C-alpha cells in the first residue's frame, strides 16, 4: 500500500513540476515553493492523511490549468478584438 501511495506522490510532484514551467512568477520560484511544500510533509505516514494531501495537490493542478487557460484566452482576445470600441 505504501508503494502505491509513493508512486502517486512522485507522479503528482512531476506533474506539478511540469506545470510550474509556465508559472507567472517564474519556474525557479515555483520549484522552490513546490519543494518546500513536499518537504514539509515528507514524514507523514498516515495513509489517509497522504491521500488528503494528494487530493489537495490535484486541486492545485486544476487551479494552475485554469490559470493558464485564462491567460491564453486573454492573450487571444487581446490579439483579435479591439478593447477601445464600446
pLDDT tens profile 31-40:
999 999 999 9
Considering its fold, how many domains does the chain have in total?
Answer: 1
* Positions in the chain short of pLDDT 70: 1-2, 83-86
pLDDT at position 85 is: 56
pLDDT at position 74 is: 85
50-59 per-position pLDDT tens digit: 999 999 999 9
Convert the chain into a string of H (helix), E (strand) and C (coil). Answer: CHHHHHHHHHHHHHHHHHHHHHCCCCHHHHHHHHHHHHHHCCCCCCHHHHHHHHHHHHHHHHHHHHHHHHHHHHHHHHHHCCCCCC
**Grid coordinates in use for 83?**
478593447
Residue 40: give the domain boundaries: 3-82
pLDDT at position 84 is: 59
Amino acid at each position: 500500500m505504501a508503494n502505491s501511495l509513493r508512486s502517486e506522490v512522485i507522479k503528482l510532484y512531476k506533474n506539478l513540476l511540469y506545470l510550474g514551467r509556465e508559472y507567472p512568477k517564474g519556474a525557479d520560484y515555483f520549484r522552490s515553493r513546490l519543494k518546500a511544500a513536499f518537504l514539509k510533509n515528507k514524514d507523514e505516514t498516515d495513509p489517509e492523511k497522504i491521500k488528503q494531501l494528494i487530493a489537495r495537490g490535484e486541486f492545485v493542478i486544476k487551479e494552475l490549468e485554469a490559470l493558464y487557460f485564462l491567460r491564453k484566452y486573454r492573450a487571444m482576445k487581446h490579439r483579435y478584438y479591439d478593447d477601445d470600441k464600446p
